[in-house]
Structure 1
Amino acid sequence: MINHGKQLGKTLALTFMILFSLSINPVSAADQLTLNFTDTDINAVIGAVSEMTGQNFIVDPRVKGKVTIISNKAMNADDVYQVFLSILKVHGFAAISGKHVTKIVPEVNAKQDAVPTLTRRRKNAGDEFVTQVVEVKHVNAAQLVPILRPLVPQRGHLAAYPSSNILVISDSAANINRLMTIIHRIDQATSDELEIIELKYASASEIVRVINQLTRQVAKGAASSGAKLKIVADDRTNSILLGGDKSRRIKLRSIIAHLDTEVDIGGATHVVYLHYANAKDLVKVLTSVGKNIQKKSKGGAKAGSSRSAANNTISIQADETTNALVINAPPDVFRTLRTVIQKLDIRRAQILIEGLIAEVSVNSVESFGVSWGAAKINDAGALANDAPVGVVNFNNSIESLLSTPPTIGSGLSILAGNLTGATKIGALINAFASDSGTNIISTPSILTMDNEESEIVVAQQVPFTTGSFSSTGTGGTTNPGNPFQTIERQDVGLTLRITPQVNEGDTIKLDVVQELSQLLGSAIGTQPITTKRSIKTSIMVEDGQMIALGGLIEEKLVEKEDKVPLLGDIPVLGWLFKSQSTSTEKTNFMLFLSPKILKDAAMQTSVTGEKYNYIRARQLDIRERGVVLMSDDVSPLLPEFKEFLKLPKPFDEDGQSETNNTSDETSSVDDNLDDSASTVTPPDLEDVALDERDKLLYQQEIISKKNKQSILNGDVF
């Protein structure tokens, strides 16, 4: 009872002291209060603050302790409440504001309670426990967590939500404000931010070139002071894309603004050196483009002075000696012209076109035995309505074509076709050459550029009389007339003109004009008679594919007489010693073409090596057989093609070129070449470095020679 009485007395004394302290420390204003507590129970302080501020509190049973407050400054009710929140925070408690009541709980459990959630920064933040949602704009929110974690007490909460790039923080409002200040300083635009600067007078690519050169020179003399600048020119819109540190971008903007000024010099003269295009050919195109630009600028602008009109004068000239363009034009027009020049001045592809031109008779086609789809010709010499135009298809294997040739029906003639697969011109030449009824007219091969007309002419100049005139005179010996003739020489022979055009997907369009003219044995008076057969067409063919053109059918009436000399000339009785025959011969004019795109120098070297080694193989064959009536002489022989591709000789340790061994090897080769031609053995095809086509031709020739020699020696009987 004594102890209980003492405790009750202490409580009453404490309550009296609080009321006394409040009553004896009033300020001039009725709402101004001062707080002074010395070792006072926290529950008593909570009750006093509730009386002062009018707030309703629910106190957690775990809230216990003594509080000491020393204050000499008068405060209003709001300030008293903020001091009270600070007292709770110091003692490990938190006030969680609700709709009508504020809960006071241990701070460790506060983050799990229904604390107020804020999305905006609170200006006058105190120590109340809140949850703040922070939206991060420029940096990754997850990267901020390790930076901010040490600044959040253990009883608080900090987490990132990557999907929305936000931070969730639970802590006192004052500490959250501090964290938000740090986040704002970090969440700034990085060097990846881009800005677009539109130019009015200067060229975007020229400005970028100047700035890049300036940046490189500055970087040589000083170390990098931050993130690198990114600057790109967009010639289409004449704009500059600028990215990097903001302070450095501001400096560059001032430089660009200074360079992008109008220069009134009455037009500017520029010299543009071309790499691939012909300067003379571009003048016409650029002049037309410049005039169109000038018309548009005049239509959209107001009428100006005569000086401004003079400044818009455009002049474009070609200097053929240096293959350059001299352009005098206003800056905006020159920028457009330079863009056009860059698009046109490109390297064009080269095309190697190989061909075969031959005459094939109907009989020889039958003996030749190639499987051809063809058009059937009726008795009247016209195409039948139900006869399809055929397509030539050779098997990829040349051996199968030679071993089991298909047959062709009588009355058929080759019209047009498409050779597919790996068939090559060389194989066709060999097949035709083995047919006595086929006349190979030419095997042209020409290298030309894309969209450039190429021409091969193999002909003789034949004179043709185009006119006959005589000058007027009185006649007699004093003033006789002066007759004369005008003569024009024309090509009679083979003419082949081809214009290739490389399209998308390596498809080649060929404009082909082929003409074959011949002199006939007969003539009218003094004028020769010629025949002419020509093809003019446009076709599409794939790279490396062979195309067959034909259908120029010629029919000849051949009369033949066989007789016994002298006896066959006797009248009447001579018919007993002679015979006459009349035959009709039909020939078909055929043209085969195979274009191949040479895309780089390596392909050009490869094709050149094939042709070179083809000739060298023929020279080796002649050397093997020997030269008739000149067995002691050695036929000429080209060096191996690979010798033209050798790199410089390496140097030894003494700095001397290693050429001694090469000299010995060369002398030994020369000694072998000086031997008699009869002792020379056929070279290995691998050493000759022939391609598959040349190997096949060479092998066939060797086999043919061996067969002929066996027949002459009687080995076959």
Structure 2
Amino acid sequence: MKASWRSGWVLSLALLTLIPLWSQRITSVKAFEQSGQAIVQVLGEKVPRPQVSIWHGRYLVLDFAARLGMRRQQARFTTPVTTYLRYGWFSSNPPRVRVVVTMRGRQPYQIEAIEGGWQARVGSVSASNQTRSPDGQAKDKLATIRIECEPPKEHVGEEGSRTQIAQRDGVLPPAMRSSRGTVPTPPNPGQHRDMAMNPSGTAPREATISLDFVGAEIGDVLKALAIQSGANIVTAPDVKGTITISLNRVSVEEALHLITRLSGYRYERIENTYVVGTPKSIAEFKGSEPRTESPRAVEVLALKQAKATDVATFLNSAFPSIKIMPASEKEANYVLIEGEPATIAAAKEAVSRFETAIGAGDQIVIEVYRVRFADARDLIRILNQLVPAVSASLGPGAMLSPARMGGGISSMVPSGGDTPSATAQQMGAAMPAGTSASIGTDAQPPNLLVLMGAPHEVQRALEVLQKVDIKQPQVLIEARVMDISEASLKSLGLSWSLFQSGSVNTFDRTQPPPFPTSGTTTPNQQGARFNKDGQLGIDFTLVKKPVDFSATLNALAQDQRNRLLANPRIATLDGRSARIFIGDEVNYVKLIQQTQQGANVQTDTVQAGIILEVLPRVHEDHSITLQIKPEVSVITGFLQVPGGGSLPQLARRNADTTIRLNNGETLIIGGLIRESDIKTIQKVPLLGDLPFFGYLFRKTNTQRDRSEIVITLTVRVLE
């Protein structure tokens, strides 16, 4: 009885001894280089102080009385002072984990406690000068190995287990005598960037950081992020504003992504630096490169036959990087040039050929051509292809007016005439609210072309310009948008199947059209189908009818049940696109931020309605080919987002088709059906509001209104 009591007491003491060991667990081993020192961090749960020993002067051995919560591992750890890192189970009873660092000869080391575990520093700070990248910058390396693993199942003695694990796992060095050497050198506190590395060659993983700011400047938040993470972060001058953010244990890129997305900026990693700013500032930063001043030289070019002014004009056109200093004398026979030696040598050869051509009878002439109708940049491209021997460039002349340039026309025609004399202000006055029109155009270039070359080549270029610089026809596009009631539809016969002249095609979303949805339609087959996504229930039909159908629409417009929503007119040049928008521009709250200074509200706009993009092409017989891109959008609701904002949900229908019309013909787009329910309640005051019995004293009528929006396009060629 006494023996069993003693054995139970011994067993209890053994269990109490093993409980602390079972709670001590290693979950991560990190290795990196900092300031020339190799640093190994062993992290986990209640990690005890290791037993340290040196074997053969080059193996640093750390023994931890704890369990290993990851798989044994070995990896190269190449630094100025180390070559290899291995760790794994040394014994399972009692649990013991061994970490072995292979050093480059005898090195000083230091063991110190850190948050969550222990770290070993190998080498001295002065060793940081031994490792430099080709560009002269020191490199930091970090290895993080985090793999779950179970301890070994069997163990044979203290010495036997050493040999067995060393052969199987590569954790132990060969049997050697232990010698202790400590020459600790405290390193300078430096910043380092954690770069993840494991034996499988996976991508680096950065250390986590935490931030907590309320109403702080974005620049201060980014500065704190750079200091805490050790990353290089550059902020553009246009980054302004305040931000409130609270982050816990996130990576640098995650923090940058959240900060820039919340503040409306962008970030991009360029080599080892993160650049934060607007897209424009980042593009300018990437495009700017440090310039090195190249040597420049000054040469005096003595002229034999050519005039100094002609040579200066020639060099300005052929070598714009050269600085030309004309002689002080008016009739001097030399020119001073300054530039890079290679460019000056090429300029001297070009001047020699220039004078040789003059001596052979070939003179260089300069002509100025005033552009009348076309785009000067288009003319230069044509000359470069047809007359490459002539140098053509834009002159410094006055800018052309819109009526003389090929960049597009923005003129409106009043209701009573066909002359393109109305101004943009008249166009806006003729349009109702919610209607806009625009014409695709670029910045207008000068209306002068400078031509330089041999006389016969310049004459040939002038002949080409006379043929291509011609007046382009103008096209007047008149659109009418009508809201027609269901009764009027029946009287008009908009079943789209009763017409005897012209051509008609109709289809809905569930039935495919008998022709492609894009491309050129034949005279007996016009139409375009809107895409199937959305919930509008819209059917579109394109009809080409003569003027009698438009007259019928005019008659319907006089009915009170029908409304003429818009009647915009816009004129454009042949080959220039025109855009007509009929609808509403809805402002909505995108984001609401609460700061110490107050609420920061971000708004945005979206267009909802009818958009018509038309590209006309005029042919010799005055027929017009129209490339039409109609689009109908309706706001179906708003999606609430965290923070108080709301995003509009749009249902869109669009098509892309090409159709040919004669001058003055009308194209009709129909099939936009709109249904609305009108609910009318009639009740006796007070009694009609009673619960249950109120139904006896009130009457409810529901009326469904059905209407269709019809769009007509009439095109005319303006002479």
- What TM-score results when the alignment is normalised by the length of structure 2? 0.34
Between structures 1 and 2, the one with greater helix share: 1
